[in-house]
Amino acid sequence: MTGWHEQLAVPRAPFIPAVVWVDDPAGDGFVALSRDDDEPRWRALVEEDEPIITQVDDGTTRPGETGRRPSSSCSRPSLVAAMLIALDVREGHRVLEIGTGTGWNAAELSRRAGRSGHVVSVEVDPAVADDARRALAALGCAPLVVTSDGTKGYAADAPYDRVVCTASVRTIPRSWVDQTRPGGVIVAPWGTDYGDDALTRLEVREDGSAAGRCGIDLAFMRVRHQRRDFLEPTADEVNDADTTQTAHSGRELFEMVAFARAAFTIGLRVPACYLTVEDVTDDRRLIELHDVRSRSWARVTLVRGRDPWTVHQLGPRRLWNEVAAAHSWWQEAGRPTPDRYGLTVTPDGTHEVWIDAPAADRRWSLTF
């Protein structure tokens, strides 16, 4: 979004640790960047409209080592602003934040809620929570920072007017709905294992359900116990895999992996299917599908100028067939974009998705 500077009143720099993590120029992974060693580069990262990785591998990797998985970050400022606009915190509101991270967003929430409001921020990682408390205290901000599993919410200070999650989820926890007053709002990056998530805004109803619409594309880290994972078949396993060719065009394959096209719909139609895309060279792309629970895997190898392309599939599920069928459904349904979808979380926790309206013909319950 444009104009995000006007939406964010709290400075970002005091919440960014002296050591952050950046792409390893020598290969895959992440390496530490210290403000003491290169303050101009550190400062440039803070001032850009980009996320900053503040922890890798749940804190087990130290500076000087190569990190493999980002596990905490300070989000892109424009996305922080977009989520705050969707959340619409007012003076006096009681707010629950899931995922304290650096504490920057909690400071923004506290400013909006004001002295008559109350902000609780829950962080699963003790070291991250401690750093956030120190940064918040240094700026005179006083939200309650709780070290706990955020998917359980924080019942002691419920009910809340607003709940916001700064990590992505595939399911909206019942606890968040139960701890939000009727008429209150929940905002979270919500989506499936397939592709990016959507900025989703739900309103809690008197009957204990919550419903609302999906929105813009978000790429956030998953809450820890819902993380997506992938399979790495050996060369022998790939050689023994079922092999076919796909008649899909390059345009159709692009639709299958693009959030704004078919990818969001495919994720809603194909459960437990994690999508990864790797551009090996300028002329060679790998589209892979993973279901670690059933040990199923598929790969489409795209080589420029050499179509039709080869498909390999392993395991009891034929993931490529499922994805291809979901793409056909998307076409027949009129190519719905993500912002046409809505989500209803029923009192028993069922997640129902729908296109355009809750009572529409095209609606179904998700499986996870």
In the chain, the amino acid numbered 306 is R
- Which phi and psi (to 5°) does residue 228 adopt? -85, 145
Helix, strand or coil, per DSSP, at residue 104: helix
Catalytic residue among 73, 75, 168, 296: 75
Helix, strand or coil, per DSSP, at residue 335: coil
Return the structure tokens found at 47: 């001032």
Separation in Å, CA 102 to CA 33, 59, 303, 336:
17, 14, 42, 36
For residue 128, the Cα-to-chain-centroid distance in whole angstroms is 19
Residue 29 burial by Cβ neighbours in a 10 Å radius (0-12, 13-18, 19+): middle
Written in H, E and C, the secondary structure of 129-165 is HHHHHHHHHHCCCCCEEEECCHHHCCHHHCCEEEEEE
C-alpha span between 266 and 256 (Å, rounded): 7
- Which phi and psi (to 5°) does residue 258 adopt? -95, 125
Active site residue 75: yes
The secondary structure of residue 50, as a DSSP letter, is S
Helix, strand or coil, per DSSP, at residue 84: helix
Do the strands 118-123 and 94-98 form a parallel or antiparallel pair, or are they unpaired?
A: parallel
Task: Give just the sign of the alpha carbon dihedral 183, 187, 188, 190.
Answer: positive
C-alpha span between 278 and 285 (Å, rounded): 6
**What residues act catalytically?**
75
